[in-house]
Structure 1
Amino acid sequence: MSQVYPLHGLLVGKKVPLGPSGQLSAIAKSLVFEPLRLSERGLEGDEQGDMVRHGGVEKALHHVPLQHYGCWEQRLGLPAKSLAAGAFGENISTRGLDESSVCVGDTWTLGSAVIQVSQGRQPCWKLNLRFSRADMARLLQESGWSGWYYRVLQPGVVAPQDELKLLHRPQPGWPIARLLRALHRDGLNHAELERMEALPELAPSWRAIARRRLELGAVEDFAPRLTTPSGL
């Protein structure tokens, strides 16, 4: 059965000061209304505040399901529709797809481009500044509502009215939710880590996490990634 999902939004952001200390971040994305070039590095006009941890060929596009926003409004005690697409730093917003229905390696057309799901998202502490909550990154990680990333297999032009059309699903047994569970909840399941490490479509950095856990027999400390550094 074919899978086609219209875009709810195509979003980009510029680096701006974030939080009391003015940390540069482009986590706040805004809707665009014209076609944009999509290269292996991402959308034309989109920026990242920290190119070591954000962006790059394995994280060229970030996708968050629009339906997650209603869940967050309830969980955070916010008025209905107080959050808008782009609040979590995503470039693509759709309804229908989620972490349980999207698999690593899924290959899609979007406009004249071809993109492939490369990994899930590991939230970082800049979300704490974005939402003025010291625990926001941890909440996002624990929720499993963190979205996923794409690499660009074929650059092209994409427009807000385009549709995501599924071309190929090489790993139907590996939805993003399974990857997130293996990383964040069942962190030393050796059989699962061995399978993760062997996934050719999974981003090298995520395969390296699985390999390192197998070698060390330990899960890395999440705190440096999730906790806002002192003074920020």
Structure 2
Amino acid sequence: MMKIIRLNIGKPKISTYKSKEFLTGIGKESISEALLLKDQFVGDGVANPAFHGGPDRAVCFYPYEHYKQWEEEFNRTLSIPAFGENLTVSGMLEKDICIGDIFQIGETIVQITQGRVPCSTISKYNSLDSLLKRTVDTCYTGYFARVLKEGMIREDSSIKLIKPHPMQVSVYDTMNALFFVDHLQSMEKIIEVPELADAMRKSFVKKLNKLKV
């Protein structure tokens, strides 16, 4: 069953790792409700707009089920939202969610656009040096969505898949292809998904061009 576990928003703030300060939007706070607009939630923000935010990455999801694995693997509790996600959700693993899937969440309608490409901020914020590598290794990255209809989302809002994408290219397969696979046909199929975020399409085109040389 698809369900919101936490709804999280927050503006970028200064965090510290190994005595060095850095600006990050990952440190969000859980709230009961928020208004989702085309670019982001009201009251939310990103520190690095080159990799986060904007119409194709307005909402960040992270599956709640992964927290158990990380806590067992690292023998410590991770405070939600450890990955800076807006929506911590259950029943929505990367292998089950496809690029282009459309969901109704509360008053809003959103469409999945790409997997999240994690960066070192994940490790720094959680003080776990190997968390970034493990996130990439497992493709447990979470994913982004664009907003098709603005509106309110509440922590107890229901999630409903209203239009699965016919090409059935999962977030997991997309990220696995980006990180590890050099199979031309797999990447060409991903690029053909019209709803794929432009930034990720460019990453695949760049990888394909290198392979074809």
Q: TM-score range by the shorter chain?
A: over 0.9
2:208 maps to which residue?
Answer: 214
Does residue 1:196 correspond to 2:195, yes or no?
Answer: no
User: Does the 8 Å contact 2:99/2:168 carry over to 1?
Assistant: no
2:54 paired residue number: 56
Q: Give the drift of 1:51.
A: 1.6
Deviations 1:84-116 (A, max 9, x none): 321111111122210111111110111111100
Distance 1:171 1:22, change over 3 A: farther
Alignment of 1:1-150 (within 5 A): 5-19=2-16, 20-33=19-32, 35-78=33-76, 82-150=77-145
**C-alpha separation between the residues in 2 aligned to 1:21 and 1:56?**
28
Structure having the larger proportion of residues in strand: 2
Name the % identity.
25
Greater shift in the superposed pair: 36-45 or 114-123: 36-45
Measured after TM superposition, the shift of residue 46 of structure 1 is: 0.9
Instruction: State the AA in 1 paired with 2:14.
Output: P
**For residues 215 and 49 of structure 1, what CA distance do their matches in structure 2 show?**
30
Structure 1 CA distance for aligned equivalents of residues 44 and 106 of structure 2? 18
Task: Give distance in 1, aligned partners of 2:167 and 2:70.
Answer: 28
Distance 2:143 2:183 in 1: 22
Aligned residues: 210
Letter in 1 for 2:177: A
CA distance in 1, matches of 2:90, 2:208: 37
Matching of residue 157 in structure 1 with residue 157 in structure 2: no
Residues 10 and 91 in structure 1, CA contact (< 8 A), matched pair in contact too: yes
**1:161-180 equivalence runs, <5 A:** 161-180=156-175
Contact kept, 8 Å, 1:104 with 1:171, in 2: the verdict is no
CA–CA distance in structure 2, aligned partners of residues 171 and 62 of structure 1: 23
Q: Which runs of 5+ in 2 are unaligned?
A: none
Letter in 1 for 2:183: N
Q: Distance in 2 between matches of 1:214 and 1:61?
A: 28
TM-score, normalised by the number of residues in structure 2 = 0.93
For 2:190, give the aligned amino acid: M
When the two chains are superposed, the root-mean-square deviation of aligned CA atoms in Å is 1.5
User: Could you report, residue by residue, the CA deviation over 1:157-201 in whole angstroms, capped at 9, with x for unpaired residues?
Assistant: 111110111110124521111101111121x21111111111101
- Asked whether the 8 Å contact 1:103–1:171 carries over to 2, the reply is no
Secondary structure at the aligned position of 2:2 is classed as strand
* Contact 1:106–1:168 (Cα < 8 Å) also in 2: yes
Structure 1's unaligned 5+ residue stretches are: 219-232
In structure 1, distance between residues paired with 2:128 and 2:15: 13
